């Protein structure tokens, strides 16, 4: 049956170097998918795509076509960046090549005129190029060709991982079948696979030297199941930038995009943490980054080769497993019914329970996972070889302010074995921003929930402060009067009656008794004098503008930030920023009055230290 298409990202694990002169010879002599004539035809297609991609990216194309001899001197040291394979590790059929080139031509013309762009969009919505592959039926037969040196344990682990996470099922064969579809795992030259089920006979998947990590094996199996690379999605420009200045012109074709019509992602969306995503240095010719995440906090997230992400797994389950369960469950936070256990939800990272409505399981020593943000700064911390998950919830309508105050992790990119993952976006089905080399440049969640995941090893640690934002977000309890009244308040969500900046007014009624009601009208705060106000409470924090103090003035409670002197190490809490003037540091709130700065020295916002 013709399959609907998935577009996912791929980039493989960093791996040992290869002898550049061996690649092309290997590829046409049994360790690759081509005979020499097929390989040269493949190169012709790559040259066409390379020229189109140069026009799209507005860079100078190579003056002459790339030859096999050229590629021998250009081979990278990564086994998944084979220059004469599509995007480094994918083998395409002639039909797939033709469709991809046609789609890229459409993208080229879409840039030339608004009319072509309109026609391209219409064409994309009409055309379903699902002929890029046929969907598999389960179980998928596979054979491990140990005679080629294939690593049996690595391949079995990758197969088992996909079976554990999805309804996909595989059957191991003792010999390669003479007819019918099957996967043949070999140890070829590098890491590569065909896309989806091809033809009516067996197809190879190469798990060569440097390709045996779990994430890399899952990556290549993902291609066989139908995944393209994540950064090749049609909407990738909304998430990453391609830095052409660091890409050799001969490799521009490795950064092409798929068309809208060639993919169906089942509403899952772009995932920085997909096991199918390139890393930041893919096909770099300068040692500089070739991919930059538009949200810089995700730079160390792209390119992970640990295992399929929640979004990777969800796409496969939605594509292949939608009919596995007939019951319904009210799965929350992006969870869905687990096709391997229809009585439970499959939960996104950080969540657990039958319905994904509580924090996920943590190691002993992590503390409470479900946390409530208040107006007071609170702290979570962990150290050592633990896995901790925290779900911090603020009142509905508020957001979670957070600040990572300390961290010690092994520096790597992408972050792999130990890091702090902070998911401050509203969609928890996608991997959060991972930090092991830097601190967050953002301090506010997009919704009233924040997910924090600590994955540690011996010597690792973190500490994070949090509270809800804005700090004045609260309403006081309605003022009690001796008359029956209808109370009208400003439309702020209600939490514990501790602090407030809202005003409550009362209006006498006649003999009819009414239940109190809340409306969305805004009332004018009454004018009060200092004599009408009680004393200020103590400040809830000692420094950095991290705390608040309150006082009651008649029928309302006034709350303000306090102790705005910088904390030790030179940091301040949102909405304050640490700035210096004439060598003196202070916490400045944007828009508020600040010390006068002469034209000889300008205050510069400093990154938080420590």
Whether residues 203 and 305 share a domain: the answer is: yes
Whether residues 67 and 106 share a domain: the answer is: yes
Residue 502 lies in a domain: no
**Number of folded domains in the chain?**
4
Whether residues 36 and 144 share a domain: the answer is: yes
For residues 593 and 425, the answer to whether their CB atoms sit within 8 Å is: no
Domain of 394: which CATH number? 2.60.120.290
Residue-wise pLDDT for 173-201, tens only, equals 999 998 899 999 999 888 999 999 988 89
Residue 19: CB atoms within 10 A of its CB come to: 10
Residue ending a domain, among 429, 448, 469, is 469
Whether residues 212 and 98 share a domain: the answer is: yes
Q: What is the pLDDT of residue 485?
A: 40
| Domain housing 592 | 547-601
Residue 209 lies in a domain: yes
Residue-wise pLDDT for 411-454, tens only, equals 999 999 999 999 999 899 999 999 999 999 888 999 999 999 99
Residue-wise pLDDT for 348-375, tens only, equals 999 999 999 999 999 999 999 999 999 9
Whether residues 304 and 332 share a domain: the answer is: no
Q: What is the pLDDT of residue 151?
A: 97
Residue 126 lies in a domain: no
Residue 512 lies in a domain: no
* Residue range 210-226: mean pLDDT, rounded: 95
Of 76-90, 99-113, 456-470, 590-604, the least confident: 590-604
Whether residues 345 and 404 share a domain: the answer is: no
Burial 309-341 (b: 16+ CB within 10 A, else e): bbbbbbbbbbbbbeeebeeebebbbbbbbbbbe
Residue ending a domain, among 421, 452, 469, is 469
Domain of 66: which CATH number? 3.40.390.10
What the block records as the tokens of 356 is 């994904």
Whether residues 463 and 426 share a domain: the answer is: yes
Whether residues 202 and 85 share a domain: the answer is: yes
Whether residues 53 and 85 share a domain: the answer is: yes
Residue-wise pLDDT for 528-576, tens only, equals 444 578 888 888 888 888 888 888 887 777 778 888 888 876 777 767 7
> Residues at the annotated binding site for Zn(2+)?
219, 223, 229
Percent of the residues in the chain that have a pLDDT greater than 70, as a whole number: 72
Whether residues 320 and 409 share a domain: the answer is: no
Percent of the residues in the chain that have a pLDDT greater than 90, as a whole number: 45
Residue 526 lies in a domain: no
* Residue range 231-248: mean pLDDT, rounded: 90
Residue 123 lies in a domain: no
220 is catalytic: yes
Whether residues 54 and 156 share a domain: the answer is: yes
Whether residues 351 and 244 share a domain: the answer is: no
* Residue range 120-149: mean pLDDT, rounded: 68
Q: Which runs of consecutive H residues, i.e. helices, occur in 58-169?
A: 68-74, 94-112, 114-126, 152-165
Catalytic pick from 81, 165, 220, 421? 220
Residue-wise pLDDT for 50-64, tens only, equals 777 777 777 776 666
How far is the CA of 217 from the CAs of 31, 148, 308, in angstroms? 17, 16, 10
Residue 199 lies in a domain: yes
Give the position of tokens 């096991």: 275
Residue 4 lies in a domain: no
> Residues at the annotated binding site?
219, 223, 229
Residue ending a domain, among 412, 434, 469, is 469
Nearest in space to 226 (alpha carbons), one of 36, 78, 96: 96
CA–CA distance, 413 with 391 (Å, rounded to integer): 26
Q: What is the pLDDT of residue 595?
A: 33
How far is the CA of 5 from the CAs of 33, 236, 260, 584, in angstroms? 23, 16, 10, 58
- Which residues touch 78 (CB under 8 Å, ≥6 apart)? 12, 14, 15, 88, 210
């Amino acid at each position: 049956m013709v399959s609907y298409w998935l577009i996912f990202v791929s980039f493989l694990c960093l791996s040992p170097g290869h002898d550049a002169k061996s690649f092309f010879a290997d590829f046409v002599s049994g360790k690759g998918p081509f005979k020499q004539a097929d390989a040269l035809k493949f190169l012709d297609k790559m040259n066409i795509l390379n020229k189109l991609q140069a026009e799209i990216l507005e860079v100078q194309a190579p003056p002459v076509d790339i030859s096999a001899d050229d590629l021998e001197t250009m081979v990278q040291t990564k086994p998944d960046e084979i220059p004469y394979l599509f995007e480094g590790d994918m083998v395409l059929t002639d039909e797939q090549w033709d469709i991809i080139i046609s789609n890229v031509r459409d993208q080229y013309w879409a840039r030339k005129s608004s009319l072509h762009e309109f026609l391209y969009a219409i064409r994309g919505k009409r055309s379903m190029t699902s002929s890029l592959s046929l969907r598999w039926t389960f179980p998928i037969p596979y054979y491990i060709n140990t005679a080629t040196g294939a690593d049996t344990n690595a391949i079995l682990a990758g197969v088992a991982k996909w079976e554990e996470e999805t309804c996909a099922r595989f059957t191991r064969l003792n010999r390669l079948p003479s007819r019918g579809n099957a996967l043949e795992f070999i140890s070829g030259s590098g890491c590569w696979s065909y896309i989806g089920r091809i033809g009516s006979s067996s197809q190879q998947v190469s798990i060569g030297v440097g390709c045996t990590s779990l994430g890399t094996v899952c990556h290549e199996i993902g291609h066989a199941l139908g995944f393209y690379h994540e950064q090749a999605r049609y909407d990738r420009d909304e998430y990453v930038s391609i830095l052409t200045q660091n890409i050799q012109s001969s490799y521009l074709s490795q950064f092409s995009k798929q068309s809208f019509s060639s993919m169906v992602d089942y509403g899952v969306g772009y995932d920085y943490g997909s096991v199918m995503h390139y890393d930041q240095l893919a096909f770099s010719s300068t040692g500089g980054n070739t991919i930059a995440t538009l949200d810089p906090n995700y730079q160390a997230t792209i390119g992970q080769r640990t295992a399929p992400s929640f979004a990777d797994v969800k796409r496969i389950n939605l594509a292949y497993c939608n009919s596995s369960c007939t019951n319904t469950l009210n799965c929350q936070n992006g969870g869905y019914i687990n096709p391997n256990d229809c009585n439970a939800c499959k939960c996104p990272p950080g969540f657990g329970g039958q319905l994904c409505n509580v924090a996920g399981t943590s190691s002993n020593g992590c503390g409470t996972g479900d946390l409530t943000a208040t107006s007071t700064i609170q702290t979570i911390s962990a150290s050592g070889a633990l896995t901790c998950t925290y779900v911090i919830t603020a009142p509905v309508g508020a957001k979670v302010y957070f600040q990572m105050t300390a961290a010690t992790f092994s520096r790597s990119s992408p972050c792999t074995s130990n890091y702090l993952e902070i998911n401050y976006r509203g969609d928890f089905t996608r991997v959060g921003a991972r930090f092991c080399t830097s601190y967050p440049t953002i301090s506010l969640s997009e919704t009233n929930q924040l997910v924090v995941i600590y994955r540690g090893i011996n010597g690792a640690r973190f500490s994070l402060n949090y509270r809800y934002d804005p700090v004045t977000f609260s309403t006081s309890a309605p003022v009690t009067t001796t008359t029956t009244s209808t109370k009208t308040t400003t439309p702020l969500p209600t939490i514990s009656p501790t602090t407030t900046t809202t005003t409550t007014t009362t209006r006498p009624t006649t003999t009819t008794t009414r239940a109190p009601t809340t409306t969305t009208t805004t009332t004018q705060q009454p004018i009060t004098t200092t004599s009408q106000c009680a004393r200020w409470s103590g400040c809830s924090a000692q420094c950095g503008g991290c705390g608040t103090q309150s006082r009651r003035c008649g029928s309302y409670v006034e709350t303000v930030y306090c102790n705005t002197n910088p904390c030790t190490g030179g940091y301040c809490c949102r909405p304050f920023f640490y700035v210096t003037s004439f060598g003196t540091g202070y916490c400045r709130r944007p828009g508020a009055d600040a010390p006068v700065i002469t034209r000889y020295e300008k205050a510069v916002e400093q990154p938080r230290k420590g």
